[in-house]
Chains A and B, each alone.
Chain A
Amino acid sequence: MYEVRFHGRGGQGAVMAAQALASAAFKEGYYAVAFPYFGAERRGAPVLAFTRMDKQKIRRKNQVYNPSFVVILDDRLIDLVNVSEGLNPSGAAVVNTRKSPEEIDLGMEIKVGVVDATSVALEVLGVPITNSAILGAFAKTTGVVSIEAVEEGIRDIFGGRIGKEAGEKNAKAARVAYDRTVVGTSRGEKKMVSKKQWLPTVQELPLGLATRSMETDAGLVGPGSFVENKTGSWRTFKPVFNRDKCVMCLLCWFYCPEGAIKRVDGGKTLEFDFDYCKGCGICAEECPTKAIEMVRD
């Protein structure tokens, strides 16, 4: 049985990619299952999706812990999430990146297929949505499914969801990505760390979960503890602040949904907190003196 774990961000269509791969595998004679990580993540937040493929009926309903392959829709996720956790060393990784295989460090030396799926998507679809293109790279890297089956799977899932024409275009994106995919071996120098989680015992857990602010081995929990969650990693665009143009009207400070803009120097100027800025662009849009500009992060 092959198990595939997709690493994407909310809104990038990782679940649709997993489903299209299942459909492709089905066309190749596999029994295939695709499912999301059942969470409630919002746009931009790291998310997971899974595909299982086997020659016989797949009865296993638990989550995937030791994937044969991981598919990474955004190479910046490598620094955020332990993308190679549990990855079978005889498997492979597929990464959307501008880097070469040798420049990718997954904390283990493993077969890796790379493609600049974002550029492919922009060229073919006109939008930077990479969930179809990346499947072409998957076919090229793993050989588990043919590119023809991937195209069919995309026509099936994407076509059914967003229209026949869009399905066709996405199939084309996969084909272009297939042709451009370079397969090599990743570096294994980085120490991959999984995010620590607070897992108290029954005895440690506050009664009825009525929780005060407290420090745990995984950081702060309780009131005001969301600061532990650095949402800056969600960003694709980043505000660049030109202090000279700023008139301190404070509209950006007021409008920031994250509170990622701070008054500093006794209220004389502003500072952007990139730990949390999600790059929504409201600040730049609303700045009356155009002192903020959004650039690709």
Chain B
Amino acid sequence: MSVSKVVTGNYAAAYGALLSRIQFAAAYPITPQTFIVEHLSEFVHDGLLDADYVRVESEHSAMSAVVAAEATGVRSFTATSSQGLALMHEVLFLPSALRLPIVMPVVNRTVAAPIGIWCEYNDTMPQRDSGWIQAYVEDNQEVLDMVIQAYKIAENKDVLLPVMLSMDAFILSHTVEPVEFPDQEAVDAFLPSYKAEHAHLWPEDPMIIGSFTPPEYIQEVRYQTDQAMKAAREVIKRVTKDFASAFGRNYGGLVEEYRTDDAEVVLVTLGTVTSTARDVVDEMRDEGKKVGMVKLRYFRPYPFEEIRKVAEGVSAIGFYDRSISYGSGGPSYIEGRHALYGLEIPVMNFLAGLGGRDVRVPDIKLMFEKLLEAAREGKAKKDIVWIGTRGVEP
């Protein structure tokens, strides 16, 4: 029997790991991820979780440890945030090339300077080329459900890639809301134990992993990883469906469309802004404004087809970003424009909530108004719009 409890996003993440029967974890505390490592410690010390949990001396070591453990053949888990992810950067490229299906929640937090602890995506976005599947979630239920789904996707034989689960600092990590906890039996049925067939470190079946490799081989390895990322698209869709039939919650695959039928403009969101934006869409619909929203659930693999399909039916499209590639706009916008190449509609970028600034209902409303204006004019006054920035006209 599943039970519902009011818990933080961090608790949901840790509990997701518990339900996934992780065998190995290594982590280093960093605000606002700390509750995850604390809860994991409690689970292990209370005997609820039978896993090796190594409280290492840095995030670099945390990621090194989970990669080594996963290469040895056990299901492995870690979690971090911001500077911690930046310190892991060097290690992140290993599991994607070595094909080790690690799962890691990242509590999105601003990367210094200036130092801050609040939500910004300049920690995860710069890692988008490291070969990790990247998902963004909007509430604590999705945090828990996605940890379980992430293992299912990562360990699929056509994928075998690590998954980074991006969850907003404080807005999810430290906020309590009701979460339904599935039965362990149901999770076990959905997610069988990990079998390390393609890579392991067992003397009875010796393998070499991570050799010094000349140019004759590396390009093929890159191609393999690229193929795996592409294959992940179908696997994600299938796992979303399977999860829905097992647990009754359907998240829609790579994207989730919200009131896009007959929409005149759509806003592509990611993270918790999605959740607030649902209210804004409803309000504006009530006012007779034909607005819709697309929740970008996965940034890697990027849902090119899905985004393009939505855009083909509207008069203007906007991309919300919580980080910036200086001089070029936000990463979601950059990727979106690539997906929409050749499409003759206004494509806009809305930058808001950087450094953890609150993204309010009027801010999101303003994004839709700007989109409706661009749809009317057939052209945006400004392609890249900074929302709520003092001294800057939106």
Contact = CB atoms under 8 A, between A and B. Distances in A.
Given A210-B207, A210-B208, A223-B206, A201 B220 contact: yes
The main secondary structure of chain A at its interface with chain B is loop
Interface string A194-233: 0001011110011111111100000000110000000000
B198 A207 contact: yes
Contact of A202 (B160, B207, B214, B224): B224
A40 interface: yes
Given A39-B214, A205-B217, A211 B208 contact: yes
A209 B221 contact: yes
Name, among A202, A207, A210, the residue most crowded by chain B CB atoms within 10 Å (CB to CB). Answer: A210
A210 B98 contact: yes
A246 to B, nearest CB: 35
A208 B198 contact: yes
B172 interface: no
Contacts of A206: 198
Contacts of A197: 216
B102 interface: no
Given A40-B212, A223-B206, A223-B208, A210 B217 contact: no
B211 interface: yes
Interface in A37-70: 39-40
Contacts of A207: 99, 160, 198-199, 224
Contact of A222 (B97, B208, B217): B208
A210 B160 CA distance: 13
B161 to A, nearest CB: 10
Nearest to B198: A207
B38 to A, nearest CB: 33
Name, among A39, A201, A208, the residue most crowded by chain B CB atoms within 10 Å (CB to CB). Answer: A208
B217 A209 contact: yes
Contacts of A223: 206-208
B223 A209 contact: no
A208 B206 contact: no
B198 A210 contact: yes
Interface string B74-114: 00000000000000000000000111100000000000000
B205 A208 contact: no
B209 A209 contact: yes
A200 B227 CA distance: 17
A207 B217 CA distance: 12
B221 A205 contact: yes
B216 A199 contact: yes
A199 B214 CA distance: 12
Given A202-B224, A205-B220, A205-B221, A212 B207 contact: yes
B209 to A, nearest CB: 5
B213 interface: yes
A205 B71 CA distance: 18
Contacts of A222: 206-208
Contact of A212 (B98, B205, B211): B205
Nearest to A206: B198
Nearest to A197: B216
A208 B220 contact: no
Contacts of B99: 207-208, 210
B217 A213 contact: no
Name, among B198, B199, B208, B214, the residue most crowded by chain A CB atoms within 10 Å (CB to CB). Answer: B208
Nearest to A205: B220
Contacts of B212: 40
Contacts of A210: 71, 98-99, 198-200, 207-209
Contacts of B205: 212
Contact of A209 (B200, B211, B227): B211
A286 to B, nearest CB: 31
B315 to A, nearest CB: 42
Nearest to A213: B206
A199 to B, nearest CB: 6
A284 B99 CA distance: 48
Nearest to B219: A202
A216 to B, nearest CB: 13
Name, among B97, B209, B212, the residue most crowded by chain A CB atoms within 10 Å (CB to CB). Answer: B209
Nearest to B224: A202
A199 B98 CA distance: 19
Contacts of A39: 214
A206 B205 CA distance: 15
A199 B218 CA distance: 11
Contacts of A212: 205-207
A219 B208 CA distance: 17
Contacts of A200: 220
Name, among A40, A207, A213, A223, the residue most crowded by chain B CB atoms within 10 Å (CB to CB). Answer: A207
Contacts of B211: 209, 211
A33 B207 CA distance: 42
B144 to A, nearest CB: 29
Interface in B48-71: 71
Name, among A202, A209, A223, the residue most crowded by chain B CB atoms within 10 Å (CB to CB). Answer: A209
Interface in B155-212: 160, 198-200, 205-212
A202 B223 contact: yes
A40 B211 CA distance: 13
Closest 3 CB pairs of A and B: A210-B199, A208-B99, A208-B98
19 contacts: A39-B214, A40-B212, A199-B216, A202-B227, A205-B220, A205-B221, A207-B99, A208-B199, A208-B224, A209-B210, A210-B71, A210-B198, A210-B207, A211-B207, A211-B208, A212-B206, A212-B207, A213-B206, A223-B207
Interface of A: 39-40, 197, 199-202, 205-213, 222-223
Given A199-B216, A205-B217, 14 more contacts: A205-B221, A206-B198, A207-B224, A208-B160, A208-B209, A209-B211, A210-B208, A211-B208, A212-B206, A213-B206, A222-B206, A222-B208, A223-B207, A223-B208
